[in-house]
Amino acid sequence: MKRVVIKVGSHVLTEGSEIALERMRALVDLIAELIHQDKEVILVSSGAVAAGYTQLELDKTKIANKQALASIGQPYLLKLYQTKFAHHGILTAQVLLSADDFDSRRRTVYAYQAVERLLSSGVVPIVNENDVVATEELLFGDNDRLSAHVAWYFEADILVILSDIDGYYNKDPHKYSDAIVRKVVHNIEDDALNSECTPHGDFATGGIVTKLQAGDFLLRRGSQMFLASGFNLSDVKSFLLDKIHKGGTLFKRKED
Ligand code: ADP
């Protein structure tokens, strides 16, 4: 696995109404380790609205306020990442995308070329949805599906989603204490893909459904996705650094 897209959810990056700096540092350390192992990493980071809210408490139920918070939070979040990556001597870049960047081949090629150049220069592109100006129909609305597109069109070997949950269960583990985690998933049932979104937390947007949609998008194309905890990085570390699948759910086509 040479090229990895890592998507981190807003719940992982925030603690109450603050940015969870320790968790962010742990994530940056992991990415730095991957880069030192000669891997290329694209980070898709949520958390702009939450980061904006730490600076200005606007009512985030209103769309214009959310857009304002995202525009305040995005540079703030990037500054935090930039400082943390700088400790490892790694440069970061901001890449803002929206759904229509993947609709037109010409636009996708331009974005691809820019990202290629960044990766070959050892830079970590930090991607987010350009939700400050995009109109609703051009938005994915959640970074899970955006990150699946990023992984596919930018030719990554795997998408890693770091969430507040440590895997995909047979039912919502926050509601059912007897829920069982699935280790490997080869295909996702239509019912699961079309069920109601169940985000967990104030700033979360997608819930498990958008993660399953991201997984389905990649499975159909023969690619793969790994869902693991962003609170405790030990499973993702073993998986990516030591190639040992301890915890977390791997979405991968059944080999013929
Ligand atoms: P993030 O902010 O990391 O994107 P979300 O809160 O949007 O995370 O989505 C993860 C949440 O989805 C979990 O915390 C859990 O409550 C919920 N969920 C619902 N059904 C399941 C399931 N079958 N397996 C895992 N999580 C589930």
Pocket test for ligand 1, best of 7, 145, 159, 163 (most atoms within 8 A of CB): 163
Tell me the pLDDT band of 199, cut-offs 50, 70 and 90: low
Q: Is residue 173 included in any domain, yes or no?
A: yes
Q: Is residue 238 included in any domain, yes or no?
A: yes
Tokens coding 160: 């890693």
Whole-number pLDDT of residue 236? 98
Write out the residue range of the structural domain in which residue 122 sits: 3-251
Q: What average pLDDT does this structure show over 62-90?
A: 95
Q: Is residue 256 included in any domain, yes or no?
A: no
Instruction: Kindly report the pTM of this predicted structure.
Output: 0.94
pLDDT for residue 203 is more than 70: no
pLDDT for residue 213 is more than 60: yes
Q: Is residue 139 included in any domain, yes or no?
A: yes
Write the CATH number for 213.
3.40.1160.10
Tell me the pLDDT band of 200, cut-offs 50, 70 and 90: low
Q: What is the pLDDT of residues 82-127, one digit of tens each?
A: 999 999 999 999 999 988 888 888 888 999 999 999 999 999 999 9
Tell me the pLDDT band of 36, cut-offs 50, 70 and 90: very high
pLDDT for residue 64 is more than 70: yes
Cα–Cα distance between 36 and 30 in angstroms, integer? Answer: 10
Number of domains in the chain: 1
Give the ligand 1 atom nearest the CA of 11.
2
Give the ligand 1 atom nearest the CA of 168.
24
Give the ligand 1 atom nearest the CA of 181.
24
Q: Alpha-carbon Rg of the chain, whole angstroms?
A: 17
Location of structure tokens 């696995």: 1
CA atoms within 13 A on the CB side of 121: 12
Ligand 1 pocket, residue 209 CB under 6 Å? no
Ligand 1 centroid from CA 195, angstroms = 13
Cα–Cα distance between 8 and 165 in angstroms, integer? Answer: 11
- What are the beta bridge partners of residue 125? 93
Q: Measured in Å, how far apart are the chain's first and last C-alpha atoms?
A: 20
Q: Is residue 171 included in any domain, yes or no?
A: yes
Ligand 1 centroid from CA 90, angstroms = 31
